[in-house]
């Protein structure tokens, strides 16, 4: 039995309409199918094929190529442990072993209560936070076996869990809907950057290091700037001068150290 409604069909068509050629919408359309059906179903494949005017075999071929598309039902929380080299070495292997044992599931399996699907994932572009886990594709940084067990226990108990540098976690189906291009209003949750992302910037601030002042206006905080120039040329001159002054002061300060 399919959960795809007329509304879903409307949304699938809307995705296809974002592109000059409708078939370009197939990847996000399959994300939407998962958000409704909980996996890629034969009905979902047929729906995409019908809307795009291609064969179900062509849609199937795409759905089986990409690892985010699941043929089996996924739990509320898709828990991924990075076991690519860097994370594995830093502890990802130990975390994955511990979770398999604790949850009594293997790779790509779901707990009996349907809450958690565990899988190992490849590099997720957060190596400076290794070892990294992902829950419904939100970052869980700097994990240990102990914190990983606590995380999955909290998820199974229905506690609200927040990404270490992101929003409150939603369910996997809700996440898939965002991937299909339907925002969920959580964009402003969480910080702009996590601690590791800021180490270089913090050092630069401490040492008053900056990119050289250029031929154009420095990007600086207008709210601090007094007497904003009326023309861009004036703004340029102003910004340059103040930056040059700041730099001169810093240089002198450094010399007298």
Partner 1 sequence: MTSTLTPVLTDIWDADQSWKLSTYTDRGGYAALDKALGMAPDAIVTAVKDSGLRGRGGAGFPTGMKWSFIPQDNPNPKYLVVNADESEPGTCKDIPLMMANPHVLVEGVIISSFAIRANKAFIYIRGEVLHVIRRVQAAVEEAYAAGHLGKDIHGSGYDLDVVVHAGAGAYICGEETALLEGLEGRRGQPRLRPPFPAVAGLYASPTVINNVESIASVPSIIEHGAEWFASMGTEKSKGYGIFSLSGHVTRPGQYEAPLGITLRELIDLAGGMREGHVLKFWTPGGSSTPLLTDEHLDVPLGFEEVVAAGSMLGTRALQLFDETTCVVRAVLRWTEFYKHESCGKCTPCREGTWWLVQMLTRLEQGVGEESDLDLLLDQCDNIFGRSFCALADGAVSPIQSSIKYFRDEYLQHLAEGGCPFDPMKSTLFADELEMA
- Name residues contacting partner 1, limited to 101-120 (CB under 8 A): none
Say if CB 62 and CB 91 are below 8 A apart: no
Q: Which of 42, 61, 73, 234 lies at the binding interface for partner 1 (CB under 8 A)?
A: 61
Determine, following the binding rule CB under 8 A, whether residue 142 of this chain makes contact with partner 1: yes
Determine, following the binding rule CB under 8 A, whether residue 151 of this chain makes contact with partner 1: no
CB of 257 to partner 1, least distance (A): 12
User: d(Cα 205, Cα 18) in Å, to the nearest integer?
Assistant: 42
Instruction: Rank residues 1 and 183 by Cβ distance to partner 1 and give the closer one.
Output: 183
Q: Pick out residues in 183-242 that bind partner 1 (CB under 8 A).
A: 183-184, 186-188, 190, 192-205, 207-212, 214-223, 232
Determine, following the binding rule CB under 8 A, whether residue 89 of this chain makes contact with partner 1: yes
CB of 1 to partner 1, least distance (A): 25
Determine, following the binding rule CB under 8 A, whether residue 98 of this chain makes contact with partner 1: no
CB of 103 to partner 1, least distance (A): 20
Give me the helices (H) in 104-231, please.
145-156, 172-179, 199-207
User: Phi and psi at residue 140, in whole multiples of 5°?
Assistant: -125, 105
Q: Give the pairing of strands 116-121 and 77-82.
A: parallel
Q: Pick out residues in 41-60 that bind partner 1 (CB under 8 A).
A: 52
Determine, following the binding rule CB under 8 A, whether residue 75 of this chain makes contact with partner 1: no
User: d(Cα 252, Cα 240) in Å, to the nearest integer?
Assistant: 18
Beta bridge pairs of residue 121: 82
CB of 104 to partner 1, least distance (A): 21
User: d(Cα 1, Cα 37) in Å, to the nearest integer?
Assistant: 10
Q: Which of 46, 112, 56, 108 is nearest to 79 (CA)?
A: 108
Determine, following the binding rule CB under 8 A, whether residue 31 of this chain makes contact with partner 1: yes
């Amino acid at each position: 039995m399919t959960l795809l409604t007329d509304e879903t069909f409307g949304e699938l068509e809307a995705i296809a309409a974002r592109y000059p050629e409708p078939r370009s919408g197939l990847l996000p359309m399959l994300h939407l199918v998962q958000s409704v059906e909980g996996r890629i179903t034969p009905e979902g494949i047929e729906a995409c094929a019908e809307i795009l005017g291609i064969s179900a075999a062509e849609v199937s071929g795409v759905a089986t190529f990409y690892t985010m598309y699941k043929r089996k039902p996924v739990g509320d929380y898709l828990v991924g442990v990075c076991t690519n080299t860097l994370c594995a070495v830093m502890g990802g292997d130990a975390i994955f072993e511990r979770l398999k044992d604790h949850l009594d599931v293997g790779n790509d399996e779901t707990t009996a209560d349907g809450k958690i699907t565990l899988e190992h994932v490849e590099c997720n572009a957060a190596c400076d936070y290794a070892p990294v886990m992902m829950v419904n594709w939100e970052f869980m940084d700097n994990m240990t076996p102990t914190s990983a067990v606590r995380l999955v226990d909290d998820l199974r108990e229905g506690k609200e869990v927040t990404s270490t540098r992101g929003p409150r976690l939603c369910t996997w189906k809700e996440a898939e809907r965002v991937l299909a291009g339907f925002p969920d209003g959580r964009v402003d949750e969480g910080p702009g950057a996590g601690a590791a992302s800021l180490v270089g910037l913090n050092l630069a601030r401490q040492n008053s290091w900056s990119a050289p002042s250029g031929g154009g206006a420095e990007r600086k905080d207008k709210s601090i700037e007094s007497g904003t120039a009326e023309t861009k040329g004036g703004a340029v001159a102003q910004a340059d001068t103040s930056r040059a002054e700041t730099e001169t002061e810093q240089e002198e300060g450094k010399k007298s150290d």
